[in-house]
Structure formats: structure tokens, C-alpha cells
Amino acid sequence: MNSITVNEILKNNLFKKAEIVSGKGGLEKRVRWVHIMEVTDFSSLLDGQEMILTTGIGLSNNEVSPQEYLEQLIEKEISCICIELGTYVNEVDAKMIDLSNKFSLPIIIFKEEVKFVEITQSINSLLINRHYNNLKKLDSLSQQFQSFAAVPNGYVKVIKCLHDYVKFPTVYISTNNDILFFPELERKEWETHISKIQELNDHNTKSIDINFGNKRIVLKRIEILNQLWGTLAIIIPIEEPNELINLMLDRASMTISNQLLYNRFQEEKKLHEEQAWVNEIIHQNITDEATARAQLGTLNIDRNKINYFVFTLEGQVSKKNFDNFSSNNAYYHLALVLRNYFKQKGHYPFINQMKDSQFVAIILNSESSSINKTELLDIESFLEKNTNEFINYEYGISQIYHQLIEASNAYRETTQVIQTGRMLQNQEVNVSPFFSDLGAYQMLYNLKDNYDISEFVTEQLGPTFWKELNKNPYLYNTLREYLRCQCVKKDTAKQLYIARQTLYYRLEKIENYLGYKIKDNYQKRLGLELAILFADMLPMKK
């Protein structure tokens, strides 16, 4: 460190005959420089942590009282004062002694004449040499840090190297709250300190040095392009000097930020390549299956046996978090979260941002020719846990496909799932995210391309009845619930929370419009069920 304690200085031969008069509680205070000072106006001369050498000439002239003199020195946070007795001062004032003990400021006296020049040369030379040696150590440590820069997960080695050097608990916390702690075996002992570091993460101060319990936390925020990427901290004893530790944290955080930035560049490069490939496949710009599969050459999968599904997610950037994340960073972060999710499930994801609010991923599912639906149902909780930039997101999952050039069909299925969910969001219908679960809704978009489904609805219900249903939605809800309950009147009344007589009256009115008994005519009932299914997706006319 670039300082030494008062106690260490007292072991110097030049202090052999020195005596400690008072303030012994401050002997572990650290000294950064030794000053000879004979003036009483020193407000601009001191920076703190100095050892003051004086003959007391300023006190002998009564320019200021001994008590005021010492109070000013205490305010400047000096480490100790050495007074040569005899020439100008014969003894230390009692009020100075009391004040010295109160604030643990050591007062050291020389009863014989000493050469202050020799003391300043000896101690200041020692401090300069220590500073030089520290710079050499820092340079050596920086070179070790740099040697990890090109190593995969090199930042982990940087953190471990920092810990091995300082010998104090060292913590790294990413913005995703992933925690690296050295030494690993002692982490439980420091959980409260880790919680405090996570709390300090919310501050915008780049460097923090704070007492916590019987320890001190020296913390450095790792920021790239004014955005927080992680936090590096060392937990040290309260009395431990922090100057060199701060410098080490600076060098370590700089190396880590450079590697994280490089990793980000590589990830973005990979993401860009994936985006281009997915975009070409989805838009059918690649029509040859062999060409489409060429992109998979680096993956450890059987390219002759391809199973995949398409996942599409649409969402909005939360306005609440927009100040903290540019939209590009938010979308990039979501792409990484999605990739991480599917990789954890054992899949190979290829992700493309099709629009500002839409992500499309081709998910290779090489281990199985079917989708494990239960396995994918936790995606919403995963997104909520790992990203809070997006709100109102919807997603769809296609069926399994085997030809990459058919990915456009799989993509269309996912958008059908999303659009079906939107059309039915005001109805009491839970739409599965899986296209294979849509049932009759799968037909709707093929019909809509060539056929007006409102015509089918009007034809099945009859124009007069359709108008009546628009005027009296309670009849529409009654008919729909009756069909859902498979024409069981008891269950229908229970679901609608109405008396059976009320239900009988409504059904009679409905069947008068239709011209047939719903329960007794299977073919017409099937057409009616499809009509109601389609009608759920049409706006009711007022």
C-alpha cells in the first residue's frame, strides 16, 4: 500500500527516543506523507493522513490556542503529530492531551533535538518505494488479467486471479444476478454482504467504499456505453487500506468490460448470421433443402434427420424500462434470453427479429419427432424472471416439421395461433400456444384466404337470427354455452347461472328462429357449432 501505520513508523531508529503522550488508540492510523509544519494557518496545506513534525513555534507565539490548533489538525484528518520539546514548547498542553485521547490522534514527543529532515527523508523515501513497488505489482497483475482476455470465460479467471492476489472475498454479480464468489466454500458466510452489494447495485455511483458490519465493501460498477453490465466487489477488514485494492478493481473491471464487450460483439455477429439465415428460410428465398441445411454444419446433429418447430413471440418494450434500455439493447437482450431458454431444454435455437416487436425462432428438436408441450409451458415464468423489458407478449408454437424449406408454413401456423388468441381475447376461451391444439380454428385462416366466414355464419344461423343475436347478446351466449355443454340443459343453466325455466324459454326462442331442434339434428348442430366458433372471431354488430 502507499501508506504505513504510525506504529510501523515508531519502529524506525529515528524514533528510538520518541514517547507517545496520548492518543494511543490511533496508532494503527495510516500515514501517506510526512510534513514539517511550523505555521498555524495550514488549511490549504494538508490533504489528510499526514504525520506532522513541529517544534511548536506557532504555539509559542500565541497565534492560536493549543486546543484550537489541535482541533484544526483533527478536522484535516491528520494521522499523528510529533512535537520537539525544549526550544519553543516545554510540555504538551493538558487540553491537547484530552482532545488527543478523545479523537485517538497520537501525540508523540521528542525530548531531545532531532533532525526533522532525516525523518522526512527516511519515511517519505519508504513511502515512495512502496508506491513504486505497488505500481510494479499492479502492472504485473494487469498483465495476468490481459492474458485471460482471449480465453473463453476469461472474466471468471480474472476474478479468481484478483481474489488469489488480495486474499479477501471477491464477488462478481451480473445484471442477470448471476453470482461468482471466491472463495467458493465460504460463500454462505458472506450472504448478507452479497445482499448488500446487490442493493448497492441500484446506485449510479461507479465506485463505492462503504462500511458494513465489521467489514468494508469496496465496489466497482462495470459499465459499457453508460449501461451497467455487472458489479465487482471485494470485502475487506475495516482497517485495511483500500488504495491499492481500488486500483486493482479498476484494472480488473476494465479487463472484464473489454471481454464482455468482445463477447457481445461475437454474440451479435452470430445473431446477425442467424437472423439472415432464418429470414431467408421463412421468406422462402432458399428453395433447396441441401442449401438450407448447410448452415447446420457446425452443429453436432444428424443433418439427415431434422426435426424442428417454429416459435414466434410478439411483444412491446415496457415504457417503464425504456429509459434504462435502448430498444435495440432490449430486443438483443430478449434474443439472448430466448436462446438461453431453448438451449436449457436441449434444443438448438436460430433466432431472427422479423419486426420491432416480433421474434421468430427455428428450434431444432433433434432428439424427438414430437414436441414435449409440458416442457415448454414454463416459458412465461422464465421470461418474467429473466427480462422485464417486455409487456403484453404473445407467442405461438408450430407443429414439428422435417424439411427446412417448409419453415414458412410453420411460421404461418405460429402467427395463426397469436391472431386466434387476439380475436378470442374478449371471449371466455383459453387459446393454447400450440397450433396442434387449435382444433377447428386451424381451418379459419385457410378459409379466410378464399372465403368470407361471415357468409358461412349468416348462412348457418339465418340472417334474421344473426341480426337478433347482435341485438340480444344474451341469446348468443346461451346458444354457445348450450353447445359447449353438449346440449345438456342442467349443465348449461349452471354455467350461465340462470334458472332452468329461463333457459327453456331462451332455447325455445332460439329454436323458433332456427326452425329445428338443436339436439335432434346432428348435421345441422355440427354446422351450428362451427358457425358459433367462427362467430367468436367476428365483431358483434351493434
Query: Each residue of 62-77: pLDDT tens digit?
Result: 778 888 888 999 998 8
Q: Rounded CA gap, 496 and 478, in Å?
A: 7
What is the three-class DSSP state of 124?
helix
Q: What is the pLDDT of residue 226?
A: 66
What is the residue type of 447?
L
CATH 1.10.220.10 fits 148-261, yes or no: no
The partner residues of 36 in beta bridges, in order of sequence, read 53
Dihedral of CA atoms 371, 374, 380, 386 in degrees, nearest 10, equals -90
All structural domains of the chain with their residue ranges: 4-124, 148-261, 283-435, 452-535
Counted residue by residue, the chain has a size of 542
Whose cell is 422462402? That residue is 284
Reported as a single tens digit per residue, the pLDDT across 296-344 is 766 666 667 788 999 999 877 665 544 444 556 677 777 778 888 888 8
What is the three-class DSSP state of 362?
strand
Q: Which CA distances in Å does 182 have to 152, 177, 233, 432?
A: 19, 16, 11, 45
What is the residue type of 268?
E
**501 with 427: CB under 8 angstroms?**
no
Q: Which CA distances in Å does 430 have to 398, 421, 425, 434, 478?
A: 17, 8, 8, 12, 19
Convert 19-55 into a string of H (helix), E (strand) and C (coil). Answer: EEEECHHHCCCEECEEEECCCCCCCCCCCCCEEEEEC
CATH 1.20.910.10 fits 4-124, yes or no: no
What is the three-class DSSP state of 324?
coil
Instruction: Show the low-confidence residues of the chain (pLDDT under 50).
Output: 321-325, 449-450, 541-542
What is the three-class DSSP state of 346?
coil
User: Which letter, b or e, does each residue of 415-450 get, where b requires 16 or more Cβ atoms within 10 Å of its Cβ?
Assistant: bbbbbbbebbeeeeeebbbbbbebeebbebbeeeee
**386 with 174: CB under 8 angstroms?**
no
Q: Is beta strand 80-84 parallel, antiparallel or unpaired with respect to 50-54?
A: parallel
What's CA 463's distance to the chain center, in Å?
Answer: 57
Dihedral of CA atoms 222, 227, 229, 233 in degrees, nearest 10, equals 30
CB neighbour class for 131 (10 Å; exposed up to 12, middle 13-18, buried from 19): middle
The partner residues of 30 in beta bridges, in order of sequence, read 5
Q: Rounded CA gap, 433 and 417, in Å?
A: 6
**280 with 293: CB under 8 angstroms?**
no
**pTM > 0.85: yes or no:** no
**Angle separating helix axes 243-282 and 116-147, nearest 10 degrees:** 20
Alpha helices of 184-319 — where are they, by DSSP H?
191-200, 243-282, 289-293
| Phi/psi at 496 (5° precision) | -90, -5
What is the three-class DSSP state of 179?
strand
Q: Which grid cell sits at 69? A: 490548533
Specify the fold of 283-435. Answer: Alpha-Beta Plaits (3.30.70)
Host H or E run for residue 221: strand 215-224
Half-sphere exposure for 45 (CA within 13 Å, toward CB): 14
**317 with 379: CB under 8 angstroms?**
no
* Nearest CA among 183, 174, 189, 229 for reference residue 206: 229
Q: Which grid cell sits at 42? A: 495550514
